[in-house]
Amino acid sequence: MLRSILLQQKEERNNLLKKDYLKRYSMNDIELYLHSGLIKLITGPRRVGKSVFALQMLSDQNFAYLNFDDELLLKYFEEDQLWQTLLEVYPNFNFLLLDEIQNLKKWDLWISKLYRRGINLIITGSNANLLSNEMSGLLTGRYLQISILPFSFLEFAAFKKIQLIIETPTEMATLLNHISDYLKFGGFPETILSTSLIKNYLSSLLDSVLLKDITKRYNVRKSNDLYNLAHYLITNYSNPFSINSLSQDLQIGSIHTTQKFCRYLEDTLIFYYLPRYNSKLKWMQKAPQKVYIVDNGIIFSKSFEQSQNWGRLLENLVFIELKRRGFSDHYSLFYYITRNNKEVDFVCTKGHQITQLIQVSYTINDPKTLKREITSLVEASQELKCENLVLLTWNDKKQITEKNVIINMIPIHEWLINQN
């Protein structure tokens, strides 16, 4: 039975290798990844392109492939027999690709054995908690992690062959239309060419993740509470929340259960929680967190709004782009509330050094809005001793000096296109 399963998977692998895929920007370090003896751990939410990325890495290599999303493989898994069959189906392979490894029970023990045998391993997984716990246990110091997110705007533009060098007002209007689509529909690979699929595709994806990756895996009995929580967080994206208020508002029953459900959702790599910056860790942990979603398309797929909240969508997009650029919620990215209760959307840090404050405002046409955003940045700048201030807008560009502090107002298209 194992042989027929592996042969079927090999055929699927070969069919996938024949397809033409967009080269992801993460591929720039591919040689470094491949020649490292460390385990290559590719993480990201489901359907984001982890398997394709791994196949691109290995397209010129002799590699074996096992897909643990296949329930038959899980059912007939037997370590010694599988290894023998693997050698028969893939003679003399140099790399072993293990897809969605978190579905295999006690996978870390098996991986550890393979690693000790000198097998060059590439692993993909869609669950942050399982992967981080297991990898930081038996496999500490033996792996490098590659995070895959939905397409950046640059990848979106490359895929759709969008002109990025702008010379005329007409070209600018066209570019802004494309950014508007990206802002609304997001960058999941399967949906870019057909926005009509987005609602059904991403809504079904989320429902599948809630059922398969949470309800079944953790044997959640109060599944309605979990679904209500997920939908509440999606509709309240870019907003702060506290565990206490969630527990009360949604009548989940206990703070412990609410906390556990929030952690399960975060583990899917679809939900992210941004802490409030405070130099004292105790106060940081007590403060409300802000919730962000991995892709604006998921927000659109579950939205009941007749008109889009462009300001919140822009903030969510900026958060994910900051993640893409290497900032990590809980470690190097925060939001901030000043002593006068003014909010700054993003505090970027490097080590213990605050490197940049970013405010996001879709429109600043209203003088009151502009004053509010400037005041927030200036107050935060003085309190946090940071002078690198950025105000991201839809299409306004200028430099403002306020109380001897310079604020660079940057249109979102420039910020997305220029990675520096």
Domains and CATH numbers, the chain: 2-147 (3.40.50.300), 151-309 (1.10.10), 332-420 (no CATH)
Give the tens place of pLDDT for each residue, 300-313. Answer: 998 876 567 999 99
DSSP character string of 31-52: HHHHT-SSEEEEE-STTSSHHH
Q: Which of 9-18, 284-293, 299-308 has the lowest mean pLDDT?
A: 299-308
Q: Where are the beta strands (DSSP E) in 174-307?
A: 240-241, 271-274, 289-293
Cα distance between residue 392 and residue 377, in whole Å: 12
* Three-state SS annotation for 99-112: ECHHHCCCHHHHHH
* Beta pairing class for 120-125 and 39-43: parallel
Q: Please calculate the CA angle 320-107-214 and round it to the nearest 5 degrees.
A: 50
Output the CA angle 127-132-135, nearest 5 degrees.
120
Dihedral sign (CA 192, 55, 418, 343): positive
pLDDT band at 25 (very low <50, low <70, confident <90, very high): confident
Question: Is the confidence at residue 271, as pLDDT, over 90?
Answer: yes
Partner residues linked to 272 by β-bridges = 292
pTM of the model: 0.94
Residue 317 Cα distances to 56, 149, 267, 271, 328, angstroms: 26, 12, 20, 13, 15
Mean pLDDT of 310-320: 97
142/390: higher pLDDT: 390
Please give the Cα distance from 166 to 103 (Å, whole number).
47
Residue 354: C-alpha distances to residues 168, 329, 336, 369, 386 (Å)? 38, 14, 12, 25, 6
pLDDT value of position 303: 81
CA distances from 248 to 36, 166, 242, 253, 257 (A): 49, 51, 10, 8, 12
Average pLDDT over residues 364-375: 95
Q: What is the pLDDT of residues 136-181, one digit of tens each?
A: 666 777 888 889 999 999 999 999 999 999 999 999 999 999 999 9
CA distance linking residue 363 with residue 369, whole number of Å: 8
| Mean local confidence (pLDDT), 381-391 | 97
Separation CA 353–CA 180 (nearest Å): 34
What is the average pLDDT across 56-81?
Answer: 95
Amino acid found at 236: N
